[in-house]
Amino acid sequence: MNYKKIITRTILLVSFVSFFNDIASEMLYPIMPVYLKSIGFSFVMIGILEGLAELTAGLSKGYFGNLSDKRGKRLPFVQIGYMLSAVSKPMMAIFTFPFWIFSARTLDKLGKGVRTSARDAMLSDETTAEHKGKVFGFHRAFDTLGASIGPFIALVFLYFYPEQYKWMFFIAFAPGLCSILLTFFIKEKKKEQVNNGNKVKVSFFDYLKYWYKAPKIYKQIIIGLLAFTFFNSSDAFLLLALKSNGMSDTMMIGVYIFYNLVYALAALPVGILADKIGLRKTMIIGFILFAAVYLSMGFAAALWQFGLIFFFYGLYAAATEGISKALISNISAKEETATAIGFYTSFASIFAFLASSIGGFLFFHSPKIMFLFSGTGVVLVVIYFLMLKFKKVKSL
């Protein structure tokens, strides 16, 4: 198989852009709550900050995905999105009063909302249905490799310079700047301007109309994916479970890095497998792995058990995150790919917020109950997908 024809120059560049951006973002992920606490944020304020930021990202994904389709352009959204996220990093260290921090954090998530749907549609535009698993797997591999390197840099820096959190935000700007510069080397495929280019007007919630004209198969899959998202609480609870079992902060971050490495290394092979056995089958296998992880998490105690659990959790992520978007891109019209992905990711952000809220309530009462709730819920999602009857479509 000639991978040079499958992994085009654009796919390679977009993957490297995500790689550097995730180094910057994940470098700050482990220290963000600690930093916010050190500048006077209460746990309630941190929760509100993260909730509003995620909501901003979620709602904007739908709008900007729809706008990308209507204008027939992807690259400007990718460039602006990564630029906003990169600029927001040093902003959080320059001033520390609450309104500025809220603005910087929201700007970071807005950047994610601007770029995500257009970027995924760009990846879809660069390949054919039979290679979607490979392409999205390749991209996720680079993205997640960056997510492994970022926390490692944070660990090394804080080892030599303990509690120097502010400097981390300036350091994170460097890989963020690399991601911006690389976007200017991307060449977008020319498309016919069917909507008068940049003059088209799109209302913020116009993407919601897509549901009414979307094919039945899209609706069936989205219902299943959103149900899964409802039971998929934040990864923070997995890390908190490690902490409650006596792990040090360093070991906890080490396990998180291990999970990301497994995810990164497995993403491309799983994508290749998905193209052979089917995207839907691969995604269902991923959901089964998720259920197994959560159903066993509440009973684990030894380090080797947690290692095994996070190994399978990395495999789950490789079999679902990129694969689900590849699947959506295969069942939507090419000129509406960004809208289709944006509609899903927009509602997924809302459902993720609900999942983490419920997860937090259950975790407070009993971590074991929370893990059992999520694991059992996803078993029901697996049953739902197995019961769906689709026509024999190779791209599924």
pLDDT over 70 at 348, yes or no? yes
**pLDDT-derived band at 393, boundaries 50, 70, 90:** low
- Dihedral sign (CA 295, 301, 305, 310): positive
Q: 177 in helix, strand or coil?
A: helix
pLDDT at 342: 93
How high does pLDDT run on average in the chain? 87
In single-letter form, the type of residue at position 249 comes to: D
Residues 29-66 have pLDDT tens digits of 777 777 887 888 775 677 677 767 777 778 899 999 99
Query: Whats the size of the chain, residue-wise?
Result: 396
Residues 249-264 have pLDDT tens digits of 778 888 888 999 999 9
CA quadruple 343, 348, 354, 360: dihedral, nearest 10: -160
pLDDT over 90 at 308, yes or no? yes
**pLDDT-derived band at 390, boundaries 50, 70, 90:** low
Whether the CB-CB separation of 305 and 127 falls below 8 Å is answered with: no
Distance from the Cα of residue 393 to its chain's centroid: 27
pLDDT at 242: 84
| Domains annotated on the chain, with CATH | 3-187+208-387 (1.20.1250.20)
Taking residues 209-229, report their average pLDDT: 93
Nearest to 350 by CA among 214, 230, 222, 264: 230
In this prediction the pTM is 0.88
pLDDT over 90 at 357, yes or no? no
Taking residues 172-180, report their average pLDDT: 95
pLDDT at 1: 59
pLDDT over 60 at 198, yes or no? no
Nearest to 264 by CA among 142, 86, 125, 390: 142
Quote the CA–CA distance of 90 and 32 in Å, as a whole number: 13
pLDDT at 16: 97
In single-letter form, the type of residue at position 226 comes to: L
Q: Tokens 């500025």 map to which residue?
A: 100
Nearest to 338 by CA among 179, 204, 217, 210: 210
pLDDT at 354: 83
Contacts of 44 by beta carbon, 8 Å cutoff, 6+ apart = none
- Residue 60: CB atoms within 10 Å: 26
